[in-house]
Amino acid sequence: MSTSHHPFYMAELVWPQVEKYLQSRQDVIVPVGSTEQHGPTGLLGIDFLSSFKIALEVGAQTQTLVSPPLPFGMALHHMAFPGTISLTPVTYIQVLNEIFRSLTQHGFKKIWVINGHGGNIAPLTTAFCEFLDRDQKTEFQLINWWHLPEVTEYEQKVFGDLNGFHATCGEVSLTQYTHTAAYQQIPKLDLKEAGPAKTRWPLSPIEFRQHFPDGRMGSQPNLASPEHGKIIFDKAVQAITRKMTA
């Protein structure tokens, strides 16, 4: 994983470089995620930090421009936990539309959205539909990195059902690998079983906290490790790179 300068990260370029890129390429990667609770031992930024780091590496390997990440998403169901910052669905869809409009006005035609948060899937899909109703020339590809078969197979093999549905061993592991120093500051906790994650859905924020008092949904992130995280990161990067170059 490259750590310092990212030659395909737009925020570290100047506009003539983007203009030159657009003369031969019209594809771009947009990383999206969320800022929300991930249990007592997972970073609030997991969902956008993970998609951003994956996007940077995929961008480097496929020589595709990467936009800055969108750190806020649709996380209203996590709002009973402090530190969560959520947009309402209508606002989020609008923000996505305006990001897509900015990119397409400059000539981008194919937008790869690398997403790190389940609550974003419905509004993302809605935003694509709205956008395509006005602009039929743009192509969208949504990649939810934790849903990639290469990732889920590995997580099932090493974590089994204790991977859980939120604050999963997989996403905690991945960010323990990419953000090792941040995790070294987090107190180690002896987490008990999180209990069954199945419930009716969606829940109100208060109901969510009643069902899942420490924020985890069926996960045992004590099983997470940066070593697993590196393997999951590499699998996600390889799988997305394969999709993009197929």
DSSP 8-state assignment for residue 213:
T
| Cα–Cα distance for residue pair 241/55, rounded to 1 Å | 10
The mark string for 189-208 relative to Ni ion (x by CB under 5 A, - otherwise) is --------------------
Residue 49: closest CA among 142, 119, 116, 95: 116
Beta-carbon contacts of 168 under 8 Å, excluding residues fewer than 6 positions away, are 146, 155, 159, 219, 221
| Identity of the residue, 10 or 116, whose beta carbon is nearer to Ni ion in the bound complex | 116
| Identity of the residue, 9 or 48, whose beta carbon is nearer to Ni ion in the bound complex | 48
| Identity of the residue, 78 or 235, whose beta carbon is nearer to Ni ion in the bound complex | 78
| Identity of the residue, 144 or 241, whose beta carbon is nearer to Ni ion in the bound complex | 144
| Identity of the residue, 108 or 228, whose beta carbon is nearer to Ni ion in the bound complex | 228
**Least distance from C-beta 67 to Ni ion, angstroms?**
20
**Least distance from C-beta 95 to Ni ion, angstroms?**
19
Is 155 a residue that touches Ni ion (CB under 5 A)? no
- CA-angle at 89, arms to 87 and 95, nearest 5°: 70
| Identity of the residue, 31 or 62, whose beta carbon is nearer to Ni ion in the bound complex | 31
Mapping DSSP to helix (H, G, I), strand (E, B) and coil, where does residue 27 land? strand
Q: Which of 21, 26, 35, 47 binds Ni ion (CB under 5 A)?
A: 47
**Least distance from C-beta 117 to Ni ion, angstroms?**
6
Helix (H) or strand (E) holding 140: strand 139-144
Residue 183: closest CA among 194, 191, 193, 175: 175
**Least distance from C-beta 167 to Ni ion, angstroms?**
7
Helix (H) or strand (E) holding 127: helix 121-134
80: which 2 tokens? 């009973």
Q: Which stretch binds Ni ion (CB under 5 A): 47-55, 93-101, 177-185, 215-223?
A: 47-55
Site for Ni ion in 17-46 (CB under 5 A): 46
Q: How many residues bind Ni ion (CB under 5 A)?
A: 3
**Least distance from C-beta 225 to Ni ion, angstroms?**
17
49: which 2 tokens? 């930090």
Question: Interface with Ni ion by CB under 5 A: which residues?
Answer: 46-47, 171
